[in-house]
Amino acid sequence: MSKELDTAELGEKIVKVLKTIFDPEIPVDIYELGLIYDVFVNEDSEVKILMTLTTPNCPVAETLPLEVEEKVKSLDMVKDAEVEITFDPPWSQDLMSEEAKLELGML
């Protein structure tokens, strides 16, 4: 099986895991909320996730990135995972998926 297929498949598994993690203040998962900016997977199955928080002083600023790291690391195919928090660009409601906006009655 080619490496490319592996990383694509792993990427999908990572997204599934991210969709099980919820922002405590908003009943929508962090992926649909648009908090995940990027997921990088190298051929050594090391994952780097670039994400943001709804606000810099978000009550889960300490715990949410750790939860993301732990859950992604728990995947069999992942050797290591690292989460980097960025506020550039700052999160806005425009980043939310249609599904999230619908869920929150914004559509």
Find out whether 68 and 43 touch, Cβ atoms under 8 Å: no
pLDDT at site 4:
60
Q: Per residue in 20-79, pLDDT tens?
A: 999 888 889 999 999 999 999 998 999 999 999 998 888 888 899 999 999 999 999 999
In the predicted structure, residue 106 carries a pLDDT above the cut 50? yes
pLDDT interval class at 1 (50, 70, 90): very low
pLDDT at site 63:
93
Q: Classify residue 14 by burial, with Cβ atoms within 10 Å: 0-12, 13-18, 19+.
A: buried
Which CATH fold topology does 3-92 show?
Answer: GMP Synthetase; Chain A, domain 3 (3.30.300)
For residue 25, give the nearest of 36, 17, 15, 33 by alpha carbon: 33
